[in-house]
Chains A and B, each alone.
Chain A
Amino acid sequence: MNLKSYLNLYELLQNDISTKEERRAFGLSHIIDNKPIDQLMSWMQTHVKKLQSPLLSETFPSYLYGVTMTLVIATFVLGIVSGLALLSYNGHEPVNVVYFMAIVIFLPLFTMILTLMSMLKAHRSKSVLVHLSPAYWIESMMKLLPNTIQENIVTLKINPLLSNWIIIKRSQFIALFFSLGLLLALLAVVATKDIAFAWSTTLQVTPEVFYKYLNVLAVPWREFVPTAVPSLELIEQSQYFRLGDKLSEEMIDNASKLGEWWKFLLFSTLFYALFLRFIMYLISALGYRYALKKSFMSLEGVNSLLHDMNEPIISTHASREESISYIPNKDIQGIRKLDTSYDVVQGWAMPLTQLSVLNDSMQVISPNIFEVGGGNTLEEDSEIVHKSDGEVLLYVKAWEPPTMDFLDYLDELMQSVDKVIIYPVGTQDESYQAKERLVDIWVRKLSLVDSKKLWVKL
């Protein structure tokens, strides 16, 4: 896994190019137990061709490379220039080693402590320590230059943890080249000039104390290269005081020995500015790999992608949409009040006993009362139709919506009689009073029957 795969996955998830079903199909064919990163990598590699050029994984690393190389070259040159400036020797005054030590020992140690602290705070989206890095600021300024970056990079939102580690890693790389510039300057100056080194400080430091101090600094190499540790004698001989218009006689007598300091400076540069910086670079590379892995798994959409790939798709819904035909509202002939008598009273799926009760309740009388539908056969119903004439009051159960069986019967009945009044009634518990909603259902269905003989009791 590298930055390229992170960016490819980022872009694929941003574009959300696959359906849940496709993801599950992929998950079923790429079962990788407890290795989600491997599964994500396989998915990314399979789908990356669906992305449109230019890919973020091409533009962003190329932009990063461009910025990094520019900064590397710039700091390398700065290192050489700084080295040359620090070691500039005009032949009159010796070169103060303390300046050079400050740049190759103390500055690296200080920046490395800051780096270690920024590593600990790298999870913060706005880490002040990371923002102190020159790489961050130079890059921020470069972003403002026209045409330096492509549009898709502007919208890129890298996980803060990863972007912090990118800056930390690159800062170490850039600092490494600054140190290389210093080393090159030191070697070049030492090889081409005869430099008299001296040490000078405003602080009350005796040569003995300075010697002890340098011995501590030289711990990493003093056992292997004892000549790269200045002797007390050399330190005493090379102490320099700015007051006075001449060099001390002792210094002039030992001029050939003063150049011995270069070995100490060389090893200081090699150890503090280069070796330790390289260690920091390796640590930052490890941190970067950790951040990459972490960020890979925290990309927005990764959890749902893993979920979709590894959880079975369970569905219960219908596979096709339902087509519905609604009954339009039409007018129908209605009556509000029943007559007191009818030629025939019929009840659809109602027993005769119930019909008698209904007639009593509605104060209706009739010489002919019949049960139709229900348990009757079709022949029995036809017989009743033949026996019916004049005005027919037909009770129906309001709660049982009209079926085609009923409409067939009604059609047959209307051919034999003058008038049919359909009366939807409620249950006995409702005192035969039908609910308006149920009556409405009957009215809507009966309105489809186009006949002047048909009436509904409303």
Chain B
Amino acid sequence: MGEIMMKTHPRFAVVGHPNKGKSSIVSALALDDTVQISDIPGTTSKKRSFPLKVDGKILYELIDTPGFQRARRVLAWLEKHDVPADKKFEVVQMFVSEHRDDPRFNDEIELLEPIMDGAGIIYIVDGSKPYGEEYEAEMEVLRWTGQPSMALINHIEEADYSLEWKRALGQYFKMVRTFNPMTINLAQHVSILESMAQLKEEWIAPVKASIKLFEQYQEQKLEESSQAITKLLYDALSHVEELSMQSDEASEEEKERIEENYKEYLRNLEIDTQKKIENIWNHGHLQKKQTLLTFEDLDLFSEESASVFGLTRIELLITGATSGAVTGAGIDLLFAGHTLLLGGTIGALVGGIGAYFGFNELSEIKVMGQVLGKRYLQMGPMKNRNFSYIVLGRAIFHTSSVANRSHAIRSVAALTMDNRFKETWLDDDLKTSLEKYHKKFRSNNEIASETLKDYEILIKSIVSKSIGN
């Protein structure tokens, strides 16, 4: 059964000269950041399969292979057999069978085996380096296999020799495409898959089905990210930290401790959520450089930095006023306007003033639970209105950076947000919509699952827009 499955789905062997970016391309197309990508030739010594599976069923398979090492020798062996075109495939098969245990041809066998099993050929070259005659032996070997093939011109560096490459590759491959795995997006990904589907008629339907699934996969990742961000915001805003008191009066040390515990909880919450989102987007191995969520006076809560991460004092004042007015408008509605819209005005004033003066405070520390001699300190839920925009802004920025990062990139990601980012996703209407939910999260009341779902939908639309879907 497994054998039959193997032969029914489309398979694509990614082959080429060593160090031409085969693994980068596989990594980008398979959305897998575990592929070893290195300058050192011969990093890939065994073929490795990357199947697109849906509930365990393989729809198509990408195979990363080692680069050609002794192409001239292989070709010399093949050319010793003077056979018509229809028998060339059998000669290659014979080469594979005879040299399976020959260590000299380990890499060639690894790359030829999947092709001889029916995989389509995706031949990779580096278009930023000049064409060379030494490629012809390997292209000739691939031609001997008779399998459907296409060439992808990768651009590892900036120089462009694509024209000469296209001329040469056109002699050997029915389709030649340019592709940069470092800057790939969903549209480019889909476009490459569509090209791959054209290699063989019977592959068109399964690859097209895979494209649809790929889009569904993207949607799934968006949903999961929105769930994670919703949970982050809800947990961060509603969290209540408690600390048992040693005596009747809370000591300064206890107050400092509960405050530090509270901040630590919020920091860890963000770290865990980021890790979760990185795993959702298959970036579990991401190395990143970013500022941690800190609470120092001159950090997140200063007017200067708040304009980067959260809202400025004035923006917060307007948002607080708008949200207060919404509540007040409810009162007006209740009294059928007989309050002469006073409810809205008072609501706006109270909301705005509260937001303005609550700018630098996190939450108050309260002594709680004087029942039966048990006393404890309590901090939370979050009182600072700006905090929600700081955390949300950071989460949106992190998610869009991770989602848009190609899996072929192995460098450290510098996640540094600037002023302009906030403008890309946050407008006045959105602030009002978000504040409605944030207010509920801060209220310490039980939140209905429907409310969380609605917030999640709102977050999904923000993340989707910010990713550029």
Contacts and interface: CB of A to CB of B under 8 A. Distances in A.
A322 B35 contact: yes
Most buried by B among A321, A322, A408: A322
A318 B32 contact: yes
Interface string B116-136: 000000000010011011101
Given A141-B372, A313-B55, A408-B70, A373 B34 contact: no
B19 A401 contact: yes
A409 to B, nearest CB: 9
Contact of A313 (B50, B56, B448): B56
Interface stretch (A6-14, A122-130, A199-207): A122-130
B51 A429 contact: no
B46 interface: yes
Interface in A1-52: 21, 24, 28
A315 B58 CA distance: 9
Contact of A321 (B17, B34, B44, B56): B34
Contacts of B18: 401, 403
Contacts, number: 153
Contact of B40 (A312, A327, A399): A327
Contacts of A324: 36, 43, 45
B70 A404 contact: yes
Interface stretch (A86-94, A188-196, A296-304, A333-341): A296-304
B30 A318 contact: yes
Interface string B333-363: 0000000000000000000000000000000
Contacts of A319: 49, 51
Nearest to B69: A404
A318 B50 CA distance: 4
Interface residues of B, number: 61
B446 interface: yes
Interface string B209-245: 0000110110010011001000000000000000000
Contact of B35 (A159, A318, A327): A318
Interface in A308-348: 311-327
Contacts of B216: 312, 314
B42 to A, nearest CB: 8
Contacts of A386: none
Most buried by B among A318, A320, A324, A373: A318
A314 B36 contact: no
A314 B217 contact: yes
A420 interface: no
B282 A316 contact: yes
B72 interface: yes
A400 B17 contact: yes
Contacts of A109: none
Interface stretch (A71-79, A239-247, A374-382): A374-382
A34 to B, nearest CB: 15
A123 B445 contact: yes
A21 B53 CA distance: 12
Given A123-B446, A314-B53, A314-B217, A377 B72 contact: yes
Given A314-B217, A317-B282, A441 B70 contact: no
B219 to A, nearest CB: 10
A317 B50 contact: yes
B129 A427 contact: yes
B448 A298 contact: yes
B31 interface: yes
Contacts of A298: 448-449
B70 A427 contact: no
B73 A405 contact: yes
Contact of A314 (B34, B220, B444): B220
Dominant SS among interface residues on chain A: loop
Nearest to B445: A124
B76 A378 contact: yes
Contact of A445 (B30, B41, B130, B214): B41
Given A316-B31, A374-B133, A403-B70, A441 B39 contact: yes
Interface string A387-409: 00000000001011111110010
B52 A318 contact: no
B375 interface: no
A294 interface: yes
Contacts of B35: 318, 322
Interface in B302-354: none
Contacts of B223: 307
Nearest to A407: B69
A374 B32 contact: no
Q: Is the interface of B mostly helix, strand, loop or mixed?
A: loop
Nearest to B374: A144
A444 interface: yes
Contacts of A397: 132
B52 A405 contact: no
Interface in A140-157: 140-141, 144
B5 interface: no
B71 interface: yes
Contacts of B40: 326-327, 401, 441, 444-445
Nearest to A121: B445
A323 B46 contact: yes
B54 interface: yes
A219 to B, nearest CB: 32
Contacts of A123: 445-446, 448
Interface in B6-38: 17-19, 30-32, 34-36
B143 interface: no
B319 to A, nearest CB: 25
A161 interface: yes
Contact of A24 (B42, B55, B126): B55
A392 B50 CA distance: 45
Residue of A317, A399, A441 ringed by the most chain B CB atoms within 10 A: A317
B159 interface: yes
Contact of B133 (A21, A316, A349, A441): A349
Given A405-B72, A429-B159, A437-B39, A314 B30 contact: no
B55 A28 contact: yes
A354 B396 CA distance: 53
Contact of A399 (B69, B129, B220): B129
Interface string B235-258: 000000000000000000000000
A387 B215 CA distance: 61
Interface in B66-84: 67-73, 76
Contacts of B45: 323-325
B133 A375 contact: yes
B48 A317 contact: no
B151 to A, nearest CB: 17
B104 interface: yes
Interface in A80-139: 123-126
Given A294-B448, A314-B216, A403-B69, A374 B48 contact: no
The 4 closest A-B pairs by CB, nearest first: A401-B41, A404-B69, A349-B134, A375-B133
Given A126-B444, A399-B126, 12 more contacts: A28-B55, A123-B448, A294-B449, A313-B56, A314-B213, A316-B31, A316-B50, A318-B30, A378-B72, A397-B132, A403-B70, A429-B159
19 contacts: A123-B446, A294-B449, A298-B448, A313-B55, A314-B53, A314-B213, A314-B214, A314-B217, A314-B220, A316-B50, A317-B50, A318-B48, A324-B43, A349-B134, A378-B72, A405-B73, A427-B129, A427-B159, A437-B39
